[in-house]
Structure formats: C-alpha cells, structure tokens
C-alpha cells in the first residue's frame, strides 16, 4: 500500500527520467487500488463521471508526461511512454476481452432466438436488431447504458474476432507480440 499522497507531488520534485515517471504511475495505481469508496462499475451504470480519478491524474502530472518541458510537460518521448512490449501486451489483453465479449454476445443472442422463436425475427418485435448488431456493429468508444447496449451490442464483423484470437494465441503460445494492424 502506498504512503504517497497527491500533496507530496505538489511539494516534491517533478519526475525527470522515464524511471521516475514509471514510479509516479505506480504511485497513482497504488492510490487508485486502495480507493475502496469508488466503485467504477456502479459509477458507470449511473452515468456519473470519474472526477476524483481525473483530478488524481492531473495532480500526479501524468497527463503532461508527453508535453514539452518548456511548456510545463514531462518531456518524455513516446518510446518512454509506450514500448512495443507494453503496447503489444495491452493489445493482447484487449483482443482477449473482445473475443470473449463477442462469444458471450452471440450466445445471448442465440438464446434469445431459442426462447422467443421465429416470431422474434419480425421487425415489429425489434429483436432482429440484436442479431444484426452483434454481428456487424463496430466497437463503441464509450459503453452505453445497459438498455441501449442490449439494443446495439458493439461487436461483430467489422472487427473480426478471428484476428483477435490469432493475436492472443501467438502471444500465449509463441511469445510473439502482435504487429499493429487496422484491427488492432
């Protein structure tokens, strides 16, 4: 557990090297990890915004990491902020979640049609949108409320799951980092 507080960042020296910034990011992660008052899932369901987390990131200086030092930024380059390994590891995690979310959405969709029968394919019921949207909609940038998410599941053919599974498999079995692609 971290004993660092945001006040320490205001009085102490600003990070200068990549290692200093990584240490600062670890401090922020520890503070966020110990914040038991904030339930991110409940906040998202309520449509609230993460004001406390944004304030913490601003106070830590991490939002200025890539800005030039002459303008008050951290002066770090992209290679310091994002390495090929961190990008690849993150991409593989996202790909695994994408593949699983697609599987779950398709399973739910199939079960809805099993339960409701052929009549549910009529446009008057509106359930045909589930099937179509699960298979063709691109990923959303921000998850909609649950009732909207059920109407427009953001998974499908425009972001093929086969590519995601291949990336995860190559990373797990061969240790190979995925190359950036249009589907990354």
Q: What is the pLDDT along the chain (184 residues), one digit of tens a residue?
A: 445 667 778 777 788 888 888 888 888 888 877 765 656 667 777 877 778 788 888 888 888 887 887 877 778 776 666 777 888 888 888 888 888 888 888 888 888 888 888 777 777 777 777 777 777 665 544 444 444 444 444 445 556 788 888 889 999 999 998 887 766 6
Phi (first) and psi of residue 79, to 5 degrees: -60, -30
How far, in Å, CA of 152 to CA of 138, rounded? 10
How far, in Å, CA of 19 to CA of 95, rounded? 28
Sequence spans of domains, the chain: 6-81, 84-174
pLDDT at site 3: 59
Angle between helices 51-60 and 18-34 (to 10 degrees): 150
pLDDT at site 114: 84
Contacts of 112 (CB under 8 A, 6+ apart): 120, 127, 130
Contacts of 133 (CB under 8 A, 6+ apart): 151, 152, 153, 154, 156
Task: Answer yes or no: are the C-beta atoms of 32 and 56 closer than 8 Å.
Answer: yes
pLDDT at site 27: 87
How far, in Å, CA of 118 to CA of 131, rounded? 13
Burial of 28 (0-12, 13-18, 19+ CB in 10 A): buried
- Domain 6-81: which CATH class? mainly alpha
pLDDT at site 146: 44
pTM: 0.50
């Amino acid at each position: 557990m971290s004993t660092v507080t945001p006040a320490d960042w205001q009085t102490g020296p600003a990070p200068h090297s990549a290692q200093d910034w990584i240490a600062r990011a670890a401090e922020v992660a520890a503070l966020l990890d110990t914040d038991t008052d904030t339930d991110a899932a409940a906040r998202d369901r309520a449509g609230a915004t993460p004001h406390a987390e944004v304030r913490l990131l601003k106070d830590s200086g991490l939002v200025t990491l890539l800005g030039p030092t002459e303008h008050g930024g951290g002066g770090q380059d992209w290679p310091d902020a994002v390495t090929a390994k961190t990008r690849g590891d993150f991409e593989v995690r996202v790909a695994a979640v994408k593949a699983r979310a697609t599987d779950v959405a398709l399973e739910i969709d199939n079960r809805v049609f099993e339960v409701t029968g052929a009549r549910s394919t009529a446009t008057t019921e509106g359930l045909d949108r589930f099937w179509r949207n699960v298979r063709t909609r691109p990923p959303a940038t921000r998850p909609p409320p649950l009732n909207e998410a059920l109407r427009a599941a953001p998974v499908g053919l425009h972001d093929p799951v086969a590519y995601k599974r291949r990336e995860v498999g190559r990373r797990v079995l061969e240790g190979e980092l995925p190359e950036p692609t249009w589907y990354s």
